[in-house]
Every structure is written in structure tokens, then in C-alpha cells.
């Protein structure tokens, strides 16, 4: 069975007063149909009780009853096409009033661009029934009708001039716009809607981009929070170890000092005891000498003199001292060593945090010099003796044995590691997108390169102007490269010792940065080992 939308049209179920699909339709004795409320309002404002369409007069107001058949058709039609009521329920939309009503102003149903007025359902009826009004252009009720009418000719703006990009009336195209390309408003509206569709799509893409960026920022904040919590826990652990070390050393130091003090006191007591015994003996001898010096027995004096002529045997106490300052230097040295051992953990924690920003780097074959050989996975590069047959495209280094990474970075932080084991010459770092790739290059920040270099197996330098010699305790076997784009920082680390090599600070990055590699010439096989980019799973935890 065909649907209602295919069999009936809206005009067939439309009230000629409100111009909307019937609501509670009734039929007049002359056979015309209207909404019940529309016809009642019409008769209430008219001196005669007559049909609004055929003007047949009724001596008495007919009793109005809903035509159930038409009502059912209208109801099903509304459902099938989802007809919306003409009256708005949106509180934000301002109601337009009828310009013709003299007493209570009713809401306008349409606005006439020819008459320049807005009309309610009753006053609109003449535009539907009177021949001279039927050709007038009716639009949805609007307040600013003057914007829809040509101010020069007082005619509806029905055309669009594409030359001047303005709306015009029929009289306008007979004057200034006569030779211009003009089209009906409806036609231009379709074009503009198509353009608006493109703009809307662009806006939606911008929205999605920002929503994605918001998620990235939230994820970054979440990750930073996790890293901060981890770093705080590790720092607390280190400080706790430091405190325990200090407390333990303090306890041991105080214990030794107390033991030394007790030993000194015991020694002093022993010295005092011995000296008191000697004093007792000396006092006894002094009494004997005193008595003998007053004796009259000359024989006894001469007989006992040999045993009393010299002082009694005593210890020489001149050089004897008691040490009240215990030697704790060894304990202090041990304490310092323990503290140094704990303090060394701080750089390790910092290095672990840097490794959290590890990214997967792959070599870009389109930038590789003709003499470079890249592995199939794009993780290794070495210099060979023969030139490879590859096009000299704008991205390729055509003189220096260099290659860039595929991945570029224009914000945030990133880190990668490269194995340099067994090499006598290499360059590592980052380069901005616009660097010169033809002819000789000079590795300096001014030229868009932030790198460190190895020459002659032992000569390490930073690519400044002039070169900055680097003094390293040992030759690094793996080098870590860390970049903080917003901070303007490029740092290099010895991965195995977790020690800092060099940093470019206070830089201002405005372009995309790419990892930069140069394995150096083969040097008759002495420098044939490749540079190897380490997978992130080997060091990122």
C-alpha cells in the first residue's frame, strides 16, 4: 500500500486560513474545510458569518463538528512527514505580531514582502483568496522586513548579483545590475549552503583536532603525574636512605667517642692512683729525712745515709698525657663515602625520567647520502665505498655522509639512544627541517644542527662555533639524545654510566626537529661499524 506522503500532498490537507495541516478540521455547509479554531476566530472578527473562501453567507452560525475522516488523514499525514506546528515553542524565538490587527495583536503567520507587513491567520486569508494578492511573496514571519525589501525600488529582494555579491530586486537588474550575473536567491542559496558545508566540515575538523589535543594534554598530564609520583617516591627513598645513613653514622660516631672518653677516664684514674701511691712513698721518705736531719747519733746517720741520700724510685710523669680528643677521622671518611654513594642515585633518577620520553626513531632513506647503507628496518646506517644509484632529490644530503630520521618533532620532549660501539668517527644530534643538505655543511646551531662529534677515535667535541672540546672519563658505547622543545634544550648522555656529556641550552626552536646521524667514512674498514638506533623496549621502563 502506498504511503500517505506518496498519495496526499500538504496542500490537500492544508487550512486556507493558517496555511498549515488541519488541526481539528471542520466542514462548512458549502463544503469547504478549515481548522475549527481558525474558522471561529475568523467569524469572531467578521461582521458576517460567511465562508472565507466562497463568501457564502450563513443566516445562523453553523454548529461546528470535527470531520473525523479528514482529522484522521491529517493526523496520519503529520506522522508520515513529521509535520511540525507552525507556531514556535522555542522561548528564545521572539514572537512576530500581526501588523493589521487593530485591537489585540495576534501572532503573525506569514510576512508579505510585497506589502511589507506581517499577517495573522485571519488577515492572511485575503492573500490566499484574492487574485491580486496571490502572486505576493510570502515568507516566515520576520521582524526586520526592511532587510528583505529593496530600499531603492521597494520590491522584494528575490535575486542575487554574483558580481557585487549582494541581493537585488527585479527592477535592480534593469539598471546598474543589467549586465551582471544574477540568479534567483534559491539557486545562490544552494551554492552558499554547499560552501557553508565545506566551512562546517573544516570547523568540525578543527573541533576534532582540538578535542584530540585536549585528550593528548590530559594524557600528558596523567603521564606527568605518574612520573612525578614515581620520582617523588624514588626521591623519598633516596632521602630516607641518606637520613638512615646519617643517623647510623652519627650513632656510631657518638658510640666511639663515648668509648674513647671512658677509656681516657679509666687511664686517668690509673695515672692518679699510681701518682697518689708515689706521693705516699715520697711523704714517708720526707719524714725519715726530716727526722734524720735532727738526729745526734752520728754513727746511725752515717750508717743509714747511703740508703737515704737519693730520692725513692718513681716514674717520670713529664711526658704522660691523657687523650680526650678521640680520632674519628676514619668514621667521618666512611660517612662521606656513604653519603656520596647515596647522592649518586640522584642523577640516575633524573636519567630514568629522561628515558620516559623515549620515541621510536627510524632512518629516512630519502635523506640518506649516496654512500650510506641503511638496514631494512631503518635502524642501522653505515658508510660504504661505492655510490648507490638513488635520485638526488631535494631532501637528500649529496656531499656529507648524513641521514635524518623519518619522525619529526615540533613540541614536547623526546629521547632516543644510539649504539656507537667500535667506531672511530660519528656525529649525533638533531637538525631542523630547513637545513641545507647540498654541499659541505657546518654543524652549528646557527646552521640548524645541534650535535656532538667524535674524530680520531678519542677526540670528542660539541658542534658549537667554535667547537667545544669534551673531556670524557671513558668512551661512551651508547649515546642518549634528549630534546625539550619548549625549553630549548638538547642534551647528550653516556647511557651505560648514566652521566651527562653536553647540553645546548637557551635555544629557540621554531621548526620541526629531526634526529640527525652521520656514521662517518669507512676509513679502510677502521670505521665500518654501523650506528645502531636502540629499540625503545631495551631501555624504556
Per-residue 3-state assignment (H helix, E strand, C coil) for 207-238: HHHHHHHHHHHHHHHHHHHHHHHHHHHHHHHH
Task: Please give the average per-residue pLDDT across 47-64, as a whole number.
Answer: 85
Grid cell at residue 382: 653505515
Cβ contact 517:381 at 8 Å = yes
pLDDT score for 406: 94
- What is the average pLDDT score of the chain? 84
Cα 438 to Cα 27: distance, rounded to the nearest angstrom: 91
Q: What is the pLDDT of residues 335-381, one digit of tens each?
A: 677 666 666 656 666 788 788 889 999 999 999 999 999 999 999 99
pLDDT score for 346: 62
Q: What is the pLDDT of residues 306-345, one digit of tens each?
A: 887 777 788 888 877 776 665 666 666 766 776 666 666 5
Q: State CA 335 to chain mean position distance.
A: 45
Q: What percent of the chain has pLDDT over 70?
A: 90
User: Does the structure show a pLDDT above 80 at 81?
Assistant: no
| Strand intervals (E) in 361-477 | 372-374, 380-383, 403-404, 413-419, 426-432, 449-455, 459-462, 468-470
Structure pTM? 0.45
User: Does the structure show a pLDDT above 60 at 120?
Assistant: yes
Grid cell at residue 482: 634528549
Cα 153 to Cα 146: distance, rounded to the nearest angstrom: 12
Grid cell at residue 529: 661499524
The shares of helix, strand and coil residues in the chain, as percent rounded to the nearest 5, are 40, 20, 45
Q: 498 CB contacts (<8 Å, ≥6 apart)?
A: 347, 348, 351
Spell out the long-range contacts of 111-114 with Cβ–Cβ below 8 A and sequence spacing 24 or more. Answer: 111/138, 111/139, 111/140, 111/141, 111/142, 111/145, 111/148, 112/136, 112/137, 112/138, 113/137, 113/138, 113/139, 113/145, 113/148, 113/149, 113/156, 113/157, 114/155, 114/156
Q: What is the pLDDT of residues 383-429, one digit of tens each?
A: 988 889 899 999 999 989 999 999 999 999 999 999 999 999 999 99
Cα 116 to Cα 114: distance, rounded to the nearest angstrom: 6
Grid cell at residue 367: 635523506
Closest C-alpha among 173, 97, 541 to residue 357: 541
Cα 133 to Cα 112: distance, rounded to the nearest angstrom: 10
Grid cell at residue 344: 649518586
pLDDT score for 397: 94
Q: What is the pLDDT of residues 87-118, one digit of tens each?
A: 444 443 457 888 888 778 888 888 888 887 88
Amino acid at each position: 500500500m502506498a504511503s500517505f506522503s506518496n498519495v496526499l500532498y500538504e496542500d490537500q490537507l492544508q487550512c486556507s486560513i493558517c496555511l498549515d495541516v488541519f488541526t481539528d478540521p471542520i466542514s462548512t455547509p458549502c463544503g469547504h474545510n478549515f481548522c475549527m479554531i481558525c474558522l471561529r476566530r475568523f467569524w469572531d472578527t467578521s461582521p458576517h458569518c460567511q465562508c472565507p473562501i466562497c463568501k457564502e453567507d450563513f443566516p445562523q452560525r453553523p454548529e461546528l463538528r470535527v470531520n473525523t475522516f479528514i482529522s484522521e488523514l491529517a493526523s496520519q499525514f503529520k506522522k508520515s512527514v513529521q509535520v511540525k506546528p507552525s507556531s514556535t515553542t522555542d522561548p528564545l524565538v521572539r514572537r512576530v505580531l500581526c501588523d493589521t490587527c487593530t485591537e489585540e495583536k495576534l501572532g503573525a503567520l506569514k510576512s508579505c514582502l510585497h506589502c511589507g507587513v506581517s499577517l495573522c491567520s485571519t488577515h492572511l486569508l485575503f492573500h490566499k483568496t484574492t487574485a491580486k494578492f496571490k502572486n505576493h511573496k510570502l515568507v516566515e514571519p520576520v521582524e526586520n522586513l526592511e532587510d528583505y525589501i529593496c530600499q531603492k525600488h521597494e520590491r522584494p529582494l528575490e535575486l542575487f548579483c554574483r558580481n557585487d555579491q549582494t541581493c537585488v530586486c527585479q527592477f535592480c537588474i534593469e539598471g546598474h545590475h543589467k549586465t551582471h550575473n544574477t540568479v534567483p536567491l534559491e539557486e545562490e542559496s544552494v551554492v552558499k549552503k554547499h560552501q557553508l558545508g565545506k566551512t562546517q566540515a573544516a570547523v568540525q575538523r578543527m573541533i576534532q583536532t582540538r578535542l584530540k589535543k585536549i585528550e593528548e594534554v590530559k594524557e600528558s598530564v596523567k603521564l606527568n603525574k605518574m612520573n612525578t609520583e614515581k620520582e617523588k617516591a624514588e626521591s623519598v627513598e633516596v632521602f630516607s636512605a641518606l637520613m638512615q645513613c646519617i643517623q647510623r653514622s652519627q650513632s656510631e660516631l657518638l658510640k666511639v667517642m663515648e668509648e674513647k672518653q671512658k677509656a681516657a677516664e679509666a687511664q686517668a684514674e690509673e695515672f692518679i692512683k699510681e701518682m697518689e701511691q708515689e706521693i705516699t712513698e715520697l711523704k714517708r721518705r720526707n719524714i725519715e729525712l726530716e727526722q734524720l736531719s735532727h738526729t745526734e747519733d752520728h754513727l746511725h746517720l752515717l750508717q743509714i745515709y747511703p740508703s737515704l741520700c737519693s730520692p725513692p724510685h718513681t716514674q717520670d710523669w713529664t711526658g704522660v698525657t691523657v687523650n680526650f680528643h678521640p680520632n674519628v677521622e676514619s668514621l667521618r671518611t666512611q660517612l662521606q663515602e656513604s653519603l656520596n654513594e647515596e647522592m649518586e642515585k640522584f642523577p640516575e633518577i633524573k636519567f630514568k625520567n629522561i628515558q620516559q620520553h623515549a620515541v621510536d626513531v627510524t632512518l629516512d632513506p630519502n635523506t640518506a647520502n649516496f654512500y650510506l647503507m641503511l638496514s631494512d628496518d631503518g635502524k642501522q646506517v653505515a658508510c660504504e665505498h661505492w655510490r648507490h644509484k638513488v635520485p638526488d632529490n631535494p631532501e637528500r644530503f649529496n656531499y656529507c655522509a648524513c641521514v635524518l630520521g623519518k619522525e619529526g618533532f615540533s613540541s614536547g620532549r623526546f629521547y632516543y639512544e644510539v649504539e656507537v660501539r667500535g667506531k672511530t668517527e660519528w656525529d649525533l644530534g638533531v637538525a631542523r627541517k630547513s637545513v641545507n643538505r647540498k654541499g659541505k655543511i657546518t654543524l652549528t646551531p646557527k646552521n640548524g644542527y645541534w650535535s656532538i662529534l667524535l674524530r680520531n677515535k678519542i677526540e670528542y667535541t660539541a658542534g658549537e662555533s667554535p667547537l667545544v672540546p669534551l673531556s670524557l672519563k671513558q668512551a661512551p658505547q651508547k649515546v642518549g639524545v634528549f630534546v625539550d622543545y619548549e625549553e630549548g634544550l638538547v642534551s647528550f648522555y653516556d647511557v651505560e654510566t648514566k652521566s651527562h656529556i653536553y647540553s645546548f641550552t637557551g635555544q629557540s626552536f621554531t621548526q620541526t626537529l629531526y634526529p640527525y646521524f652521520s656514521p662517518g667514512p669507512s676509513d679502510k674498514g677502521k670505521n665500518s661499524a654501523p650506528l645502531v638506533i636502540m629499540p625503545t623496549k631495551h631501555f624504556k621502563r
